[in-house]
Amino acid sequence: MKKRNCFIGQSGGPTTAINASLAGIIAECIDTQQFAHVYGMINGVKGLLENKYMDLLEIFKSTEDLNHLKHSPAMYLGSCRYKLPEFQEDPQTYQLLFQLFNELEITDFYYIGGNDSMDTVAKLSTYAKTIDSHIRFIGIPKTIDNDLMGTDHTPGLGSAAKYVATSMLEIAYDSSIYKLNAVTIVEIMGRNAGWLTAASALARTAYSDAPDLIYLPEVPFSKKAFLEDIHAVFKKKRSVIIAVSEGIRNENGEFLDSDSKYAKRDAFGHILHSGTGKVLESMVYQEFKCKVRSIELNVLQRCAMHIASAVDLDESFEIGRYAVKTSMAGETSVMMVFNRTSNNPYTIECDFKDVTSIANLEQRIPVEWINEDHNDITQDLYNYLYPLIQGEIAITYENGVPQYANINHLKNN
């Protein structure tokens, strides 16, 4: 039987768990003994257009190697934010890619990423059909935003949620030491979907009820109600801790932190939000004239391997394995998904769905999972998030710091 050859790419923003999916794909390719070459595209499809790729079977040869990769943050293969054009508008780009696929006798293509990455998978698989190509195109989800449709949750959310909850708990302890009125505002990633901000509720323990207030982008944000909420909390305690999504909007649908006319945007045209915490900090200080601090967790939410969720990494590894099984079974133009089969005990199964029905859509928190006052989450949302942050991993240390995978191949790209 003729051996298979595949390409694997990573795209979009990194997560703590995305390398686990890469490791799962490589592991399954090795175990099948049917792959001659497992190529990794450096910096995604954009790097592939520049002929940048490496043979991963020459690097990862043992379970120990793959575990090392699985427990390394960010993206081993590097990333890109490249919007693949429609093939009717730019056929040369597709011809260049498929010429390379044909030269390397590619049989399978795996792309790990978020919504825009699934758009790439959909476009490549659609073009493949027009030229009668038999290459299998498979999308593997990842995003801390958890905004991909069709799957119970996305790999990467659990570890980011665990970091947010842990940081919130530690902030709460830090804020408890002084006998003075204070407000701490923690700004958390989430452009349109508030899943990660909602995960701050997982910090609540028998000794700490922080965050006291949670504001999500799925419902309108009222400045008047916000200040009234803080007044109400101050009646019970001296330290108020607030979790807020970077993407909250006022009643008119306008972002708090930027005028859309002048806002910075990423390669896909999405507004780059940061500064919501600072806007609220000024607002709170003017109202209460007390100690106010805003904290932006920023990229730490997506790269904190030292506090990764074991459930998240294990699931990410398995969905990578299942992606290989799916393409070898003849499927193409699909995204791998999780189906939750039980919440208590928590169990999931891997499956797949048509990627063209998923790409460019957005999964947001159901409004019924947000309380009536729009300043907290319901128990249903807590129960949904809770299983995803369970378990810890063993990190290898050298000279007192974590020892992660060697990424020298990314330095000059």
Beta carbons of 62 and 23 less than 8 angstroms apart: no
DSSP states along 351-408: EEEEGGGTTT------GGGB-TTSSSB-HHHHHHHGGGG-------EETTEE-----G
Between CA 190 and CA 142 the distance in angstroms is: 14
pLDDT, residue 191, reads 85
- Where residue 254 falls among pLDDT bands split at 50, 70, 90? confident
Beta carbons of 324 and 25 less than 8 angstroms apart: yes
pLDDT in tens, 214-230: 999 999 999 999 999 99
Given a cut of 50, whether residue 262 has pLDDT beyond it is no
Residue 339 phi, psi (nearest 5): -110, 125
Whether the model clears a pTM of 0.85, i.e. scores above it, the answer is yes
Between CA 184 and CA 319 the distance in angstroms is: 38
Given a cut of 60, whether residue 261 has pLDDT beyond it is no
Say which of 108, 145, 312, 376 is annotated catalytic.
145
pLDDT, residue 236, reads 95
- Where residue 377 falls among pLDDT bands split at 50, 70, 90? very high
Mean pLDDT, the chain, integer: 94
Calculate helix-pair angle for 115-130, 91-103, nearest 10 degrees.
80
pLDDT, residue 269, reads 61
Does 267 or 84 have the greater pLDDT score? Answer: 84
Determine the average pLDDT of the residues in 318-341: 98
Instruction: Provide the 3-class DSSP secondary structure of residue 111.
Output: strand
pLDDT, residue 264, reads 52
pLDDT in tens, 49-86: 999 999 999 999 999 999 999 999 999 999 998 889 99
Between CA 113 and CA 121 the distance in angstroms is: 10
pLDDT, residue 413, reads 62
Q: Percent of the chain having pLDDT more than 90?
A: 89
For residue 13, give both structure tokens: 């923003």
Is 145 known to be catalytic? yes
CA 370 vs CA 72, 163, 217, 374, 381: distances in Å: 34, 22, 11, 6, 8
CB-based contacts of 139: which residues, under 8 Å, 6+ apart? Answer: 110, 111, 112, 113, 117, 118, 121, 122, 334, 335, 336, 355
CB-based contacts of 224: which residues, under 8 Å, 6+ apart? Answer: none
- Beta-bridge partners for 223: none
Given a cut of 70, whether residue 263 has pLDDT beyond it is no
pLDDT, residue 385, reads 98
pLDDT in tens, 166-194: 999 999 999 999 899 999 999 999 989 99
Q: Based on the number of CB atoms within 10 Å of its own CB, is 65 exposed (0-12), middle (13-18) or buried (19 or more)?
A: middle
